[in-house]
Amino acid sequence: MSSKPARRPGELVFALLVLIFGLAAFWQAYEISGFSGLTTPGIFPMLAAGMMVIASLFILADTAQRNAPDVSRGSVPASFLREIMPLRHAIVIGLILLYLIALPLLGFVVSSGLFLLAAFQYLWRKNPLVTAVLAAGSLGAIYLVFRVVFQVVLPRGTWLGGLI
């Protein structure tokens, strides 16, 4: 089908993963109560997972029919890394992961401060002093609005003795 847009890099793999996930979900749903009755807890999960399997078969067929991604600017894995998961995304996701790990350990204030500092610095690329002021300012604003005005309990760090 030439009228349809070409596949995005990695789309075929994603469609396959979607199918595998659907099948795994169906297997797990079957494990709940099997085909023992029509009102068992497992029947609706099985219907949903079955729907996923059928839909993903259609998606896979459709994706496979479309033209292969444009490889003039490098191989498929290379264009996947360029268009879908560039270094910037990988670094930001890595930063988020570090942030989430640090959150229960260092507490909201310290970990968010560090995350904002790192993320602003990486994405905005301005003078570190400007970044630091901005991170401190926005952190202060978030803290004021959510902790002081809305009385939300913010995570406290176990490492810092629950002080902040």
Q: Which residues sit at the interface with other proteins, rule CB under 8 A?
A: 8, 10-11, 14-15, 18, 22, 25, 28-29, 32-33, 37-39, 41-45, 48-49, 51-52, 54-56, 58-59, 62, 84, 88-89, 92-93, 96-97, 99-100, 103-104, 108, 112, 115-116, 119-120, 123-125, 134, 138, 142, 146, 150-155
State the minimum distance, in angstroms, from the CB of residue 2 to other proteins.
17
C-beta separation of 131 from 117 below 8 A:
yes
State the minimum distance, in angstroms, from the CB of residue 155 to other proteins.
5
State the minimum distance, in angstroms, from the CB of residue 72 to other proteins.
20
Nearer to other proteins, 76 or 154 (CB): 154
State the minimum distance, in angstroms, from the CB of residue 95 to other proteins.
8
Nearer to other proteins, 3 or 151 (CB): 151
Count of C-beta atoms within a 10 Å radius of residue 29? 21
The SS3 assignment for 155 reads coil
Cα–Cα distance for residue pair 94/58, rounded to 1 Å: 33
* Virtual torsion, Cα 138, 140, 141, 145, nearest 10 deg: 140
Nearer to other proteins, 132 or 146 (CB): 146
Nearer to other proteins, 71 or 89 (CB): 89
Q: Can you point out the beta strands (E) in the chain? A: none
State the minimum distance, in angstroms, from the CB of residue 111 to other proteins.
9
Cα–Cα distance for residue pair 28/41, rounded to 1 Å: 12
Cα 70 off chain centre by: 26
Nearer to other proteins, 41 or 128 (CB): 41
Cα–Cα separations (whole angstroms), residue 108 to 39, 44, 103, 153, 161: 46, 40, 6, 10, 13
